[in-house]
Amino acid sequence: MSSLLSPGRTQTSGPSLPVIDATSLTDRHARTFRSLRVSLTPACNFACVYCRPADHRTFQHGSDLLSLGEIARTVGVAAQLGFRKVRLTGGEPLVRPHVPDLVADLKSIPGIEQVALTTNGSLLPKHAARLKSAGLDRVNVSLDSLDREATAKLAGRDVLDEVLAGLDAAAAAELPVKLNVVPVRGVNDHETLDLASYGAERGWEVRFIEYMPMGRVASSLPDATVPSAELRERLAERFDLHLDPAVPASDPARGWVCRRTGARVGFISSLTEHFCAACDRMRLTAEGQLRPCLHQDAGVNLRDPLRDGADDAALAALFKNAANQKWAGHEMTAATPRFSDRDMISLGG
């Protein structure tokens, strides 16, 4: 696979570049950053009701977005600051061309230990084998329902067969899989047990993600959030769950394991069980903004300095600026649901 880095650039600082004088990046609250979520595009071939507003336009992959080479260089700087994990997101990241080439570049960066990708699964039949060859460590695939009608209601069209075909392709390529489920009250929350069983039968962890009413979709889904505690009560009918002590506190998904079967489930409880105190993440939007928190409308413009010739030390200073803006914790709860006016699809949530 060809490298996406610009000619003359390496992933880390060489002798001609200033040396970054830090091996880890911490914020004002003594949290150390280890994970970078990178949105490749705000475009998506689905129209999921909890993510994409009905009038969301299809973005072209023009100069307003970071090039994949610019992304690779940015991750190289992040690695020097102690970031160890990268998650590629969107929109749907696989609508962006040459993603396997990007994965290969990211995997070659010293210090980067894991590269994962979050996808709706529809394009995995085309890309799964190349992603595996490029070194991708895992795919997180959105599977909100096993019912065709509910899936169509959530995704905006009939996509269940596409998602299932994508999961088959990931399995055939021997890509590790986690399933992402957003329970929406009255639409698919009754499938909690079936979805957990579906994952368990295939050896895949199922992660239940509380619906976050952000941006313009918030008004279209009132009272849609199903608290994680409620889901755990439902799962107790079939699974004898206990907390997994091996899951690090910085993981946004609180991990649970079934004592009888070994089935694994996780709960990302952004509204009802905040995990901000252990957060080690920062986000890079497709347009090149470093955001310290998904729910915080703050960030640092990285794209313009990149294109103006900033060296690694200058880019590292921008990371530090973003880190210093990070809140101790966000204030989004079921009672105060709208904290960011940005739509989820534009943030790479």
Q: Report how far residue 101's alpha carbon sits from residue 98's, in angstroms, rounded to the nearest whole number.
A: 5
Query: Is 132 marked within a binding site?
Result: no
Note the pLDDT of residue 1: 63
Residue 260 CB neighbour total at 10 angstroms: 10
Beta-strand relationship, 300-301 and 264-268: unpaired
Positions in the chain whose pLDDT score sits under 50: 6-18
pTM greater than 0.85 (yes/no): yes
Q: Report how far residue 338's alpha carbon sits from residue 214's, in angstroms, rounded to the nearest whole number.
A: 5
Q: Which domains does the chain have, with CATH numbers?
A: 35-347 (3.20.20.70)
Q: Which two tokens stand for residue 80?
A: 């020097």
Note the pLDDT of residue 327: 79
Q: Which residue has the tokens 């996509």?
A: 159
Query: Is 264 marked within a binding site?
Result: no
Q: Which residue has the tokens 């039949």?
A: 125
- Transcribe 241-254 into DSSP letters: EEE-TTS-TT-SSE
Note the pLDDT of residue 60: 57
Query: Is 260 marked within a binding site?
Result: no
Q: Report how far residue 40's alpha carbon sits from residue 93's, in angstroms, rounded to the nearest whole number.
A: 5
Note the pLDDT of residue 7: 37
Beta-strand relationship, 177-181 and 241-243: unpaired
What value does the CA radius of gyration of the chain take, rounded to a whole number of Å? 20
Query: Is 258 marked within a binding site?
Result: no
List of residues 6+ apart from 317 with CB closer than 8 A: none
Query: Is 107 marked within a binding site?
Result: no
Query: Is 51 marked within a binding site?
Result: yes
Q: Specify whether the CB–CB gap between 192 and 200 falls below 8 A.
A: no
Query: Is 50 marked within a binding site?
Result: yes
Q: Which two tokens stand for residue 34?
A: 């280890």
Query: Is 151 marked within a binding site?
Result: no
The DSSP 8-state label assigned to residue 26 in this structure reads B
Note the pLDDT of residue 72: 98
Written as one letter, the residue type at 171 is A
Query: Is 87 marked within a binding site?
Result: yes
Cα distances from 220 to residues 140, 212, 217, 269, 296, in angstroms, run 26, 12, 5, 21, 22
Q: Specify whether the CB–CB gap between 348 and 293 falls below 8 A.
A: no
Query: Is 276 marked within a binding site?
Result: yes
